[in-house]
Amino acid sequence: MTTLSNRYEFVLLYDVENGNPNGDPDAGNMPRIDPETGYGIVTDVSLKRKIRNYVEMVKGDAAGYRIYVKEGIPLNANHKEAYLAVGLEPGKKADVASVNKARAWMCQNFYDIRTFGAVLSVGDNCGQVRGPVQLNFSRSIDPIVQQEVTITRLTVTREEEADKERTMGRKHIVPYGLYRAEGYVSAKLANDPTKGTGFSEEDLNLFWEALINMFEHDRSAARGKMATRKLFVFKHESDLGNAPAHKLFELIKVQRKPEANPPRSFSDYEVTVDKAGIPQGVELIEKL
């Protein structure tokens, strides 16, 4: 695989129509919201789940592209597999050098560990991995409306309720919301001789592909219509970077058009990029 030699930052714009992009279990699964401002929130964990699912769908269990955090697989079972693969005895405490061998095996075999990092010290200790790719929480461009919709079902669940004609339920949706996520890719964390994960150019290209297509294969009635609208990538000439990340993020502005009140679609927003303000040594790539 080709070694990653550039630092990157990126801005992802995606929207939801009549769906719940990220339910809050502490609020009855209502769409997450900042209680002070009314802006919608989507956690980094939610987006990482969709990225993992896309990679697994595309690559399956191909060598080097397995998924560590997946449904139905206890994490410690993967640690045991790593110990056996590098000649260690599961259940027996390993020294630092042996733990590093197991850590390297986990990075080599699991795409999401190589990308996002993971804590692998529970059970058979495989160390800790700091991932080169990091995502912030997404935030909506405007305050969102948390709408509760009552639904009916023309059947019942329990036999003792058979005399009832129907049962009632609720769905929580956002009529429309445009969200912005910002993220970072560190070549140094990918390539460090002792702590690097081996995240490569090929891995990065798959990551961009996942950001663009992850909603296309995550459809459900609960999530409504979700779509990636824009993906801006800032590529630095060096692995350390040529400009502060926050300065680059500020070059991309997203504003609701004055006549769109409330906004109902992506066309109700205007996205502008200050290309003249891009610092020397940084290239802007519009992936979508």
- The structure tokens listed for 233 are 């990538």
Residue 137 per-residue DSSP state: P
- 78, part of any domain: no
Give the pLDDT score at 165.
Answer: 66
Instruction: Inform me whether the pLDDT recorded for 204 exceeds 80.
Output: yes
Residue 165 per-residue DSSP state: S
- 179, part of any domain: yes
For residue 174, which phi and psi values (nearest 5 degrees)?
A: -110, 120
Give the pLDDT score at 73.
Answer: 85
- 183, part of any domain: yes
Q: What is the mean pLDDT of residues 115-125?
A: 95
How many alpha carbons lie under 13 Å from residue 3 in its C-beta half-sphere?
A: 9
- 94, part of any domain: no
Instruction: Inform me whether the pLDDT recorded for 178 exceeds 80.
Output: yes
Instruction: Inform me whether the pLDDT recorded for 137 exceeds 70.
Output: yes
**Structural domain for 149, as ranges:** 8-61+130-286
Model confidence at 134, pLDDT cuts 50, 70, 90, reads very high
Task: Report the number of secondary-structure helices (H) and strands (E) in the chain.
Answer: 7, 14
Instruction: Inform me whether the pLDDT recorded for 20 exceeds 90.
Output: yes
- 117, part of any domain: no
- 40, part of any domain: yes
Give the pLDDT score at 162.
Answer: 67
Model confidence at 31, pLDDT cuts 50, 70, 90, reads very high
For residue 12, the SS3 value is strand
Question: How much is the mean pLDDT over the chain?
Answer: 94
Instruction: Inform me whether the pLDDT recorded for 161 exceeds 80.
Output: no
- Number of domains the chain contains: 1
Q: What is the mean pLDDT of residues 195-212?
A: 96
Instruction: Inform me whether the pLDDT recorded for 173 exceeds 70.
Output: yes
Q: Helix, strand, coil % (nearest 5) of the chain? A: 30, 30, 40
Give the pLDDT score at 71.
Answer: 86
- 185, part of any domain: yes
The fraction of the chain above a pLDDT of 90, given in percent, is: 85
How many alpha carbons lie under 13 Å from residue 90 in its C-beta half-sphere?
A: 12
Instruction: Inform me whether the pLDDT recorded for 62 exceeds 80.
Output: yes
Give the pLDDT score at 150.
Answer: 83
Model confidence at 163, pLDDT cuts 50, 70, 90, reads confident
* Residue pLDDT, tens place only, 228-279: 999 999 999 999 999 999 999 999 999 999 999 999 999 999 999 999 999 9
Q: What is the mean pLDDT of residues 164-186?
A: 89
- 85, part of any domain: no
